[in-house]
Amino acid sequence: MTEYKDFKQLRTRHPLLDDISRRPSDLRLLLVSQDEIKRLQACEFFKGLLEEKLEEEKIQGRLQGYEVTIMDLRNEKRNYADSDVFERSGIHEGRLFIPIYHNADNQPGLPQITFDRTRPGIFSYTQEGWMNITNVSKRNCYSRVDV
C-alpha cells in the first residue's frame, strides 16, 4: 500500500510518477475510502499533481500535450472499457490523456481491462467496491492508497 501522505510530501518527485511520459501505463492507483468526499478530494489532489508533473514533462520536451480529467461513474451503467474515453487514455502522438475514474464501484472489471491494455489507471472505490474488483491478482497490481 502506498501512503497518501507520501504523495503530499514528495509531490512530483514521487517514484510512481517517474517516466510517466514514457510509460504512462505504470500509473496504477486505487483510491479507497468509505467517505466519498475524501475520495473526491483525493481525485482532485491527484489531478493537480499529475498536471503539475505533466507540465514539467511538457516544458522538458517529453510531451506535446496532456489532459487529466475526473469522471464520476456512480450512475454509469455502460461498460467504460468500450468507451471513447477509454480508447483515448494513454499516450498517442505525443499527447497524454489520463482519466481518473471516481465512484467506480459499478465497474469491477475496469482495472483489469485497463491493466491488460496497458493504460494508465486511477480509480476511486469504496472498500466494498475494492473487494469486488473482478480479478484479485490484477487488483493487487495497483498501488492502494487509503484516503
pLDDT digits (tens, 9 = 90+) for 102-127: 999 999 999 999 999 999 999 999 99
The CATH number for 9's domain is: 3.40.50
Distance CA 95, CA 90 (A): 8
- Give residue 60's pLDDT: 95
Q: How many domains does the chain have?
A: 1
pLDDT tens, position by position, 86-98: 889 999 999 999 9
pLDDT of residue 1: 67
Amino acid 77: pLDDT: 73
Q: Is the pLDDT of residue 135 over 90?
A: no
pTM of the predicted protein model: 0.92
Q: Which domain holds residue 114?
A: 4-146
Which tens digit of pLDDT belongs to each residue from 11-59?
Answer: 889 998 988 999 999 999 999 999 999 999 999 999 999 999 999 999 9
Residue/partner pairs of 124-131 with CB below 8 Å, 24 or more apart = 124/31, 124/32, 124/39, 124/40, 124/42, 124/43, 124/100, 125/30, 125/31, 125/32, 125/39, 126/32, 126/33, 126/34, 126/36, 127/32, 127/33, 127/34, 129/104, 129/105, 130/30, 130/32
Cell numbers linked to 16? 510512481
Cell (9 digits) for 30? 486505487
Q: How far apart are CA 106 and CA 77, in angstroms?
A: 7
